[in-house]
Amino acid sequence: MTWWYARGRQRAVVVRYVLLLLVLAISVGPLLWQLFSSLKGSEEALFGSEATFLPQDPSLAAYRTVFEQVPMAQYIRNSLIMCALTIGSQVVFPTLAGYMLSRRHWRGRSGFYSLLIVSMMFPFESIMVSLYMQIRDMSLDNTFVGVWLPGAIAAVNVLIMRATFAAVPDEIEDAAMLDGADEWRRFFRLYLPAAKGSLVVVVINSFIAAWDDFLWPFIVLRSEELYTLSLGLARLAASSLSFDPRVIMAGSIIAIVPIMVLFIAVQRYFFKGVESGAIK
């Protein structure tokens, strides 16, 4: 009986690792294929029976072509500007709004919370036209502010911060009040330290959303010198000079690198924020 139980556990472990390897191949495989394809020489086949997974003649020619055909440095700079604006507003405003919504003595918090939930039911495409008309009437079209303003505050980030602050035990706040700590002091000394993990989640989500955003910048921006990286890559793909798929893949890899670097740098805090969301 013990032998059969041990064999069963071994089979379960084998099945578990096989499933994990399958998920890894599905999620990471296309990215690796794109990376290796961008490193292939001009004479190597990308598709068909003659194509190989690993490059036989590695070359950075596709990456050089990307920087020669389009001003990648300018596009990256514009995207970083948008990311800085978005992260700044997404950290400040949702944090303050989430704190206010977590205060139980505020009578209007239930109505505001319900309104916030309802606003998440409507997709961006349903308000896109009216939103652009408002931006145009404010003379903010073809500007970074016009791209940033509609996404300055995300409802989901407000909910994340609200859940984090609401999970702080009342006893800790009561003790701080007995020590004479006012509202702002309790916020900065008690609640913000408890929200470090959630703030990292907000920063990563905001960075990815701003970095990958294509539709709204495409609608608002007209000047090429204001193009973000996503628009620049779309221009690269539409260019007749970039018919070589290696160039498109190289541009996509360049766009992925900052996201991977950021996630690797803060992944420990990210998973801590996802798992806990508050004080343990």
pLDDT value of position 3: 56
Confidence of residue 280 (pLDDT cuts 50, 70, 90): very low
Topology of the domain covering 71-275: MetI-like fold (1.10.3720)
Calculate the average pLDDT of the chain.
Answer: 83
**Contact yes or no for 228/78 (Cβ under 8 A):** yes
Pairwise CA distance, residues 213 & 217, whole Å: 7
Residues 234-262 pLDDT 10s: 887 776 455 678 888 888 888 888 888 88
Q: Domain spans of the chain?
A: 1-59, 71-275
Distance of CA 110 to the CA centre of its chain: 29
Whole-model pTM? 0.81
Q: How far is CA 46 from CA 40, 55, 171, 265, in A?
A: 8, 9, 63, 33
* Residue 12 or residue 278, greater confidence: 12
Contact 269, 195 (CB under 8 A): no
Query: Of residues 80 and 277, which shows the higher confidence score?
Result: 80
The answer, yes or no, to whether residue 271 has pLDDT greater than 50, is yes
**At residue 36, does pLDDT exceed 70?**
yes
Out of 13-27, 167-181, 201-215, the most confident range is 201-215
Q: In what helix (H) or strand (E) does residue 74 lie, and over which residues does it extend?
A: helix 72-102
Q: Report the amino acid identity of residue 168.
A: V
What does the longest C-alpha to C-alpha distance in the chain come to?
78
